Structure 1
Amino acid sequence: MNWDDRSIQQRAIERLIGEHGPRALAKMNPEQLQERLKGALSLALSEQNGALQAEQLQRIHGELMGLGPLEPLLADDKVGDILVNGPEAIWYEREGRLYRSAQRFDNEAHLLRIIDRLVSRGGRRIDESSPMADSRLPDGSRVNAVVRPAAVDGPQLSIRRFIGGPRLLADWVQAGCMTTEAADILGDLVRQRANLIISGGTGAGKTSLLNALSACIDEGERILTLEDAAELRLSQPHVVRLEARPPNLEGKGELTMRMLLRNALRMRPDRLILGEVRGDEVIELLAALNTGHRGSMGTVHANSAADALVRLASMAAIALGTSHPEMLDSQIRSAVDVVLHLERSDDGKRRLRSIHRLQSDLPEAGMGAKMQCLWPKPDDRSQPLRRSPAAGVPRRSVPDDA
Structure 2
Amino acid sequence: MIQDTVYDALIRHLMGPLVRYYDDPTVTEIMINGPNEVFVDGRGGVQAVTERLEDSAALRALARVILQFSGKRLDPLDLSLEARTPSRARVHIVQDPAARAGITLAIRQFAQDPPSIEDLEASGSLSGEAIAWLREQVLGHRNIIISGGTGTGKTTLLGILCRMMDPAERILTIEDVAELDLRMPHVVAMESQMPDAKGRGGITIRDLFRAALRMRPDRIIVGECRGGEALDMIQAMNSGHAGSLSTVHADDPGRALSRLETLCLMSDADVPLIAVRRQIVEAIDLVVQVRRTHGRRLVMEIAETVKDTEATGGYAMTPVFLRRDADAPLERV
Q: Structure 1 pair 291/71, CA: closer, same or farther in 2 (3 Å)?
A: same
The Cα of 1:124 is off from its aligned counterpart by 3.8
Matches within 5 A, 1:340-355: 340-345=288-293, 347-355=294-302
Structure 1 unmatched runs, 5+ = 1-27, 35-60, 377-382, 386-395
The answer to whether residue 318 in structure 2 is matched with residue 372 in structure 1 is yes
Q: Percent identity?
A: 35
* Counterpart residue number, 1:256: 204
Matches within 5 A, 1:198-347: 198-320=146-268, 325-345=273-293, 347=294
The answer to whether residue 99 in structure 2 is matched with residue 151 in structure 1 is yes
Q: Distance in 2 between matches of 1:215 and 1:62?
A: 33
Structure 2 unmatched runs, 5+ = none
Q: Distance in 2 between matches of 1:63 and 1:209?
A: 28
Report the number of matched residues. 329
**Alignment counterpart, residue 118 of structure 2, candidates 161, 170, 174:** 170
* Counterpart residue number, 2:45: 97
Q: Structure 1 pair 119/221, CA: closer, same or farther in 2 (3 Å)?
A: closer
SS at match of 1:354: strand
Normalising by structure 1, report the TM-score: 0.74
Q: Is the 8 A contact 1:118 1:137 kept in 2?
A: yes
Moved more, 131-140 or 160-169: 160-169
Tell me: higher relative CO, structure 1 or 2? Use CA pairs within 8 A at least 6 residues apart.
2
* 2:66 alignment partner AA: L
Q: Is the 8 A contact 2:90 2:179 kept in 1?
A: no
Q: Is the 8 A contact 1:282 1:312 kept in 2?
A: yes
Q: Distance in 2 between matches of 1:216 and 1:243?
A: 23
SS at match of 1:235: coil
**Alignment counterpart, residue 22 of structure 2, candidates 74, 87, 92:** 74
- In proportion to residue count, which structure has more helix? 1
Query: Residue by residue, what CA displacement relative to the aligned partner does 1:239-271 show, whole Å, maximum 9, x if unpaired?
Result: 111111122222322211111111111111111
Normalising by structure 2, report the TM-score: 0.88
Q: Is the 8 A contact 1:196 1:296 kept in 2?
A: yes
Q: Structure 1 pair 186/31, CA: closer, same or farther in 2 (3 Å)?
A: closer
Q: Distance in 2 between matches of 1:64 and 1:179?
A: 39
Q: Distance in 1 between matches of 2:139 and 2:304?
A: 16
Q: Is the 8 A contact 1:258 1:280 kept in 2?
A: yes
Q: Distance in 1 between matches of 2:288 and 2:113?
A: 18
Q: Distance in 1 between matches of 2:313 and 2:44?
A: 35
Q: Structure 1 pair 162/96, CA: closer, same or farther in 2 (3 Å)?
A: farther
Q: Distance in 2 between matches of 1:264 and 1:63?
A: 33
The Cα of 1:147 is off from its aligned counterpart by 3.6
The answer to whether residue 112 in structure 2 is matched with residue 161 in structure 1 is no
Moved more, 323-332 or 149-158: 323-332
Q: Computing the radius of gyration over CA atoms, which structure comes out larger, 1 or 2? A: 1
